Structure 1
Amino acid sequence: MKYRKMAPYAAVLLALAPMISVYFAHSLILHLLACIWGFLVGLLYYQYMKRQNEKERKRLLDSFQRTATATLGHHRHDWMNDLQILYGYIQLGKHDKLVHCVERIKERMNTESSISKLGIPALVFYLQSFREVNGSVHLDVEIEEGLQLGDLLDDGQAEELTDAIMDTIRAYQFTGRSSWGEILELKMSMYTEDREVVVMFEQDGNCGNAEMLRQRIEETVQGKRIKAGLTGSPQSSFELRIPC
């Protein structure tokens, strides 16, 4: 990445150096050669950047495919576990536990369905693949029935809200835990209130550094059309609000 940032400067220097050197030379041939040299440098730089952009695009696509594949693998593993549990309860005749298991599966299906209907592709993919990417945080998502953010927010607002949600969860991940070894239990609720989209975060248990968490969350919304604030007690509960 460091060398890629230096490439434009190197190209400009290579193109201008011969032109500057022949500026004081009153020779038509030297001026022509300098122009040809500058053209060749520009052409080579264009080819170089094209290859670099293609490599970056392929790297991002590979990363996306790996994450998507791993996410689907986790979902398949969860469904297989649930089916095995259901089959076991059926064999043992434990109908009371069978009903509880079915209700739990139904609740998870409703949550996944609500996430998929949010209407912001980047946010949907982030939430659906969260467990694969963030093993140190257990995120419990609760979404208001029928909430479709794609119909309430413009593209700019949707991008700002997605970034703010990701940065807020990251703030909890790095400042909300009392020790690096523990799994952070975090609940995120999304709903509308007073013509605003509200995203509330509630941490289960003690917060590692409440003041630092507050500062980091407030920093995430600077320059955005999003308000962040405490929701009361405990000090680790925050909400994001954006007009819709």
Structure 2
Amino acid sequence: MKHRFMVRAMFVLLALVCLAIVYYLRSPIGQVLLFGSLLIAFWAYVRHIRKQAATERKQLLASVQRTATATLGHHRHDWMNDLQILYGYIQLRKIDKLVDCVERIKGRMAVESKISRLGIPSLVFYLQSFREVNSSVQLEVDIADDLQLGTLLTEADAEELTEAIMETVRAFQYSGRSSWGETLQLKMLLYLEDEEVVVRFDQLGTAGNRELLGQHMGGWMTAGRIRAEQLDSEYSSLRLRMACGKMNEVNACL
């Protein structure tokens, strides 16, 4: 989008320069030469912008591919650990611990399934690859019922909500820890309430710089369709609310 704006701006600037040349320069040959030179310069600039945009797209794609590959590797590692634990319990004939382990695996699979059905690709990718790109935060995700945000929010609202979630986690990451060496324990709950999508964040453990977190939240949540609510004086619990832009469509289909 930025590159397209730059190309349009350069085209307008070139047109103005050409008009000025035609007005002040009386020699037809000089007008043709200068106009041709400007066209060549403009063509070279457009080619450079397109090449730069293609390079940026390739770099972004490579970054996403690396993140996805590392995420799959982590999931595979987790499954291998779970299988080894199950195999150990089977060998030791510890049926009670075996049942608990299976229930824990089922719970994690249920959460992963709910995340994949949220309906917002950017949010799904962010949550599923979170551990790979945010090693200093241990995020526990809980999704109430079978929440599908793609059917409740418009595309613009979905992008704004995803950005709000990422910014909130980032705010906790840099402001919610008492020391840089510790791992932040953060729980995120998504649910639907009064035709609004609600995202609640609860930090577990010791409190960090709450004043800095409050300033951060108050600064960027003043605009847009998202409302931020402080649930306690320590800023250890926050809640984001966004009205469902497609709720009328959903109700009409019911």
- Tell me the TM-score normalised to structure 2 length: 0.87
2:178 touches 2:207 (CA, 8 Å); kept in 1?
yes
How far 1:233 sits from its partner (Å)?
Answer: 6.1
Seen in structure 2, the aligned counterparts of structure 1 residues 234 and 59 have a Cα distance that, compared at 3 Å, is same
- 1:211 pairs with 2:218: no
Q: Structure 2, unaligned stretches of length 5 or more?
A: 1-5, 245-254
CA offsets 1:176-221 (integer angstroms, 9 cap, x no match) = 0000000000000000111111100000012211122122123332
- Tell me the TM-score normalised to structure 1 length: 0.90
1:11 touches 1:41 (CA, 8 Å); kept in 2?
no
For 1:15 and 1:190, the matched residues in 2 are separated by: 52
For 1:82 and 1:40, the matched residues in 2 are separated by: 63
How far 1:49 sits from its partner (Å)?
Answer: 0.8
Structure-2 residue corresponding to 1:58 = 58
For 2:16 and 2:62, the matched residues in 1 are separated by: 38
Aligned pairs (5 A) from 1:32-181: 32-181=32-181
For 1:233 and 1:35, the matched residues in 2 are separated by: 66
Structure-1 residue corresponding to 2:198 = 198
Moved more, 167-176 or 199-208: 199-208
2:122 touches 2:162 (CA, 8 Å); kept in 1?
yes
Seen in structure 2, the aligned counterparts of structure 1 residues 22 and 194 have a Cα distance that, compared at 3 Å, is closer
Moved more, 128-137 or 22-31: 22-31
Write the letter of the residue equivalent to 1:142.
D
1:19 touches 1:34 (CA, 8 Å); kept in 2?
no
Q: Structure 1, unaligned stretches of length 5 or more?
A: 1-5
Seen in structure 2, the aligned counterparts of structure 1 residues 234 and 28 have a Cα distance that, compared at 3 Å, is closer
How far 1:25 sits from its partner (Å)?
Answer: 4.4
1:200 touches 1:237 (CA, 8 Å); kept in 2?
yes
Aligned pairs (5 A) from 1:213-228: 213-228=213-228
